[in-house]
Amino acid sequence: MQKDAVVKLEDISFKYSNEVILNHINLEIYDKEFITLLGPSGCGKTTTLRIIAGFETPDEGSVYFEGEKINDVPPHKRSVNTVFQKYALFPHLNVFDNVAFGLKLKKLSKKEIEQKVKAMLAVVDLKGYEKRPVKALSGGQQQRVAIARALVCDPKVVLLDEPLGALDLKLRKDMQIELKQLQQKTQKTFVYVTHDQEEALTMSDRVVVMNNGVIAQIGTPEEVYNEPVNAFVADFIGEANIINGTMLEDCKVKILGKTLNCVDKGFGKNAPVDVVIRPEDIEVIPPEEAQLVGVVEDVVFKGVHFEMSVRCENCQWLIHSTVAQKVGEKIGMTVSPDNIQIMHKMFLNPNNEIFTEVYYSDKEQNTTTFLLEGEEVTIPDTFFEEGEKLHIVLPPDALYIAGDGVGQLDEVYIESVIWKGEHNEIILESDERKWLMHSDVDEQVATYVPVCFDFSKATVERAEEAEDEV
């Protein structure tokens, strides 16, 4: 089916001062769809909306509206209205005047304004509330006024930036359904922003999963849940067991020393991959019939199912089952091939390699110092002559997050933290590159931390042969 893009973002990049906020974003938003930008706080969702609305101009790339480039079109000339997280209603105006505000700016006749506002208030279920001061309304009602105010100007596209964020859970759930119905009733294109994956899956025709200024995946709720493209998406959406595996050949993957059948192809032979298995897709069977055997460590009743934590080799698995097993019991586990999802590794080179040269060295102290992103880093118990070229390999467990002030890189961004059954796999971003770190600690994504290296775990050698690769 050929679909029309009402908004198109083409290769959009955007910086604040020198920090990259959006990194080559491509997105087509179809007419009349409910599309949601989903991702952790700070990943660039609001910035993307502001670019569509015209409040920001991209540094690179083009914004199209119905096929026409609109980079230089000011916000009020775009057929787009925004509903903000803080409703931004005028507190001194009543419901009618809040909703009428945009129409008055457009200089419509009094009669026309009255007609449109009344019709819109009926749509959002606020008939008869015209004269109420907005301060006298509940949170949910204020939210409906904000939505009516955006819709009454009849924009093609409505942008909604975490509009339900301030409501409590019960009301938020009700409003999710209302908003979705409203979108269907009005036949508008809704571009919705949330960091709540459940909300995104409930409401959207399509979900755009964002991470650190890039789009990780675009798909229907079913697609991003069942066929996540990488460990970040699998981890962010729903609960998941994500483990390291090796794709032996098409449809054969090795995890925890066992070869399992799967349905994925095209990863090559003996390729390192990430494997995701959802907790509800693991079936408990008698251990003597099973390839995977584990010991139940924890059982929690969750209403519909039991959530069990099972230790299998060095890995901890999460299983949802309607039958409770006993703690300490040995169980067998099986997963049908189409419930094993194979994903490309997010980080291709698991060894953090550094190509550099000796800045200075101290024979007496037996130390070698090099420059890393402008900072001096001293390797103990290692001596190389000044100016010599070095090839340093830091395995992921040679990196750790230091206390303040002792970092060898001071401000490193935590891009993702993914539990791999036995440790967290953490992707870090410094000024010039990315790093892979293993840690038992659950670090906070989208924060800046100082990072240190343990050179006793590193290999440091002369880089004669490697020189050409730099």
Q: Which residue ranges make up the site for ligand ADP (CB under 6 A)?
A: 16, 21, 39, 41-47
| Closer residue to Mg ion, CB minimum distance, 84 or 383 | 84
Burial of 301 (0-12, 13-18, 19+ CB in 10 A): exposed
Select 46 or 176, whichever has its Cβ closest to Mg ion. Answer: 46
Binding pattern for the stretch 22-51 against Mg ion, x by CB under 5 A and - elsewhere: ------------------------x-----
21 vs 428 by CB, closer to ligand ADP: 21
What's phi and psi for 361, nearest 5 deg?
A: -145, 165
| In the complex, minimum distance from the CB of residue 179 to ligand ADP, in angstroms, rounded to a whole number | 19
| Shortest distance, position 330 Cβ to ligand ADP, whole Å | 45
What's the min distance (Å) between Cβ of 427 and ligand ADP?
Answer: 16
Write out the binding residues for Mg ion, residues 335-354 only, by CB under 5 A: none
Q: What is the distance between the alpha carbons of residues 380 and 28, in angstroms, rounded to a whole number?
A: 52
47's contact among ligand ADP, Mg ion, none, with CB below 5 to 8 A by partner kind, is ligand ADP
| Minimum CB–partner distance for residue 21 and ligand ADP (Å) | 4
Residue 163 interacts, among ligand ADP, Mg ion, none and using kind-specific CB cut-offs from 5 to 8 Å, with: none
DSSP 141-199: HHHHHHHHHHHTT--SEEEEESTTTTS-HHHHHHHHHHHHHHHHHHT-EEEEEES-HHH
Q: Which does 463 bind (CB under 5 to 8 A by kind): Mg ion, ligand ADP, none?
A: none
Kindly report the number of other CB atoms within 10 A of residue 406's CB atom.
9
- Shortest Å distance, C-beta 373 to ligand ADP: 19
Residue 42 interacting entry, from ligand ADP, Mg ion, none, C-beta within 5 to 8 Å by type: ligand ADP
CA trace torsion 54, 59, 64, 68 (10° rounding): 100
Which is nearer to ligand ADP, 159 or 229 (by Cβ)?
159
- Compute the least distance from the CB of residue 429 to ligand ADP, in Å: 12
Q: How far apart are the C-alpha atoms of 147 and 176, rounded to whole Å?
A: 13
H-helix segments, 335-458: none
State how far the Cα of 253 lies from the Cα of 189, in Å rounded to an integer: 42
Q: Which two tokens stand for residue 194?
A: 């949330």
What are the φ and ψ backbone dihedral angles of 338, each rounded to 5 degrees? -80, -5
Footprint on this chain of Mg ion (rule: CB under 5 A): 46
